[in-house]
Amino acid sequence: GAGVSQSPRYKVAKRGQDVALRCDPISGHVSLFWYQQALGQGPEFLTYFQNEAQLDKSGLPSDRFFAERPEGSVSTLKIQRTQQEDSAVYLCASSRGLAGGETQYFGPGTRLLVL
Amino acid sequence: AQSVSQHNHHVILSEAASLELGCNYSYGGTVNLFWYVQYPGQHLQLLLKYFSGDPLVKGIKGFEAEFIKSKFSFNLRKPSVQWSDTAEYFCAVNAPDSSYKLIFGSGTRLLVRP
């Protein structure tokens, strides 16, 4: 079946521009996660949705970052007034259930470069 | 704060050599443990995971990992690597009090020479 998809795969933005990154999770998956992966590092948690509810946004680096999942399926991560330090790969993952320890399935990521 | 340490950032092996990648975590309670792999140009994929029970876990492609609670370790092993194992390997921890978050190590890049 189809896995997690993300678009765009690559995004170049000028500093100060707003960007929107899309995630299509595996159909029927309840949980959705966003991670940020800087060059040479492991992914770092940003935020978590259970259906349409954003239960944890503790990893969002600043109030310029905003995520939503209004209908409990597709999610969008929006970054306002992008800065050079926002350059990273943004990964989306989904899992079937609600419990901890469920396998998270990752998408290919969106590589964001802020000039 | 919880953290995950991967000791080797880069490993170079010849085909048929044995592999062991170290992973240590700092969390005193019950944890779920994972190894993910990222092949060149591909997305992160689960290799294996440990929740409870037998501390020796077998995963895909001949990989296994051993959970040693007293050492807070979850090392990844493979008896004989292949060129196709060239990839980046990430250890991750999922703790019950933040049950949905994965906390990743910084990764180990493995290059297997034919």
pLDDT tens for residues A96-106?
987 667 889 99
Question: Phi/psi of residue A69, each to 5°?
Answer: -150, 70
Torsion of CA A43, A46, A49, A53, to 10 degrees: 180
Which residues lie across from A5 on neighbouring strands?
Answer: A24
Q: Is the pLDDT of residue A9 over 70?
A: yes
Residues of B within 8 A of A4 (CB-CB) are: 43
d(CA A87, nearest CA chain B) in Å: 17
d(CA A91, CA A37): 7
Question: Phi/psi of residue B69, each to 5°?
Answer: -60, -40
Which residues of chain B fall below pLDDT 50?
Answer: none
Model pLDDT, residue B7 = 86
Q: Do A101 and B32 touch (CB under 8 A)?
A: yes
Q: Is the pLDDT of residue A32 over 80?
A: yes
Q: Do B100 and A31 touch (CB under 8 A)?
A: yes
d(CA A78, nearest CA chain B) in Å: 20
The answer to whether residue A91 neighbours chain B at the CB level (below 8 Å) is yes
**DSSP E strands, chain A:** 5-7, 10-13, 19-24, 31-37, 44-50, 53-56, 65-68, 75-79, 88-95, 105-106, 110-114
Model confidence over A47-98: pLDDT tens digits?
Answer: 999 999 999 999 999 999 999 999 999 999 999 999 999 999 999 999 998 7
Residues of A within 8 A of B51 (CB-CB) are: 101
Q: Do A55 and B105 touch (CB under 8 A)?
A: no
Q: How many CB atoms lie within 10 A of CB A61?
A: 14
d(CA B5, nearest CA chain A) in Å: 11
The answer to whether residue A108 neighbours chain B at the CB level (below 8 Å) is yes
| % of chain B at pLDDT higher than 90 | 77
Edge-to-edge strand ranges of the sheet holding A75-79: A5-7, A19-24, A75-79, A65-68
Q: Is the pLDDT of residue A30 over 70?
A: yes
Model pLDDT, residue A64 = 97
d(CA A96, nearest CA chain B) in Å: 12
Specify the 3-state DSSP secondary structure of A80. Answer: coil
The answer to whether residue A56 neighbours chain B at the CB level (below 8 Å) is yes
Burial of A84 (0-12, 13-18, 19+ CB in 10 A): exposed
Instruction: With beta carbons less than 8 A apart as the criterion, state whether B87 and B40 touch.
Output: yes
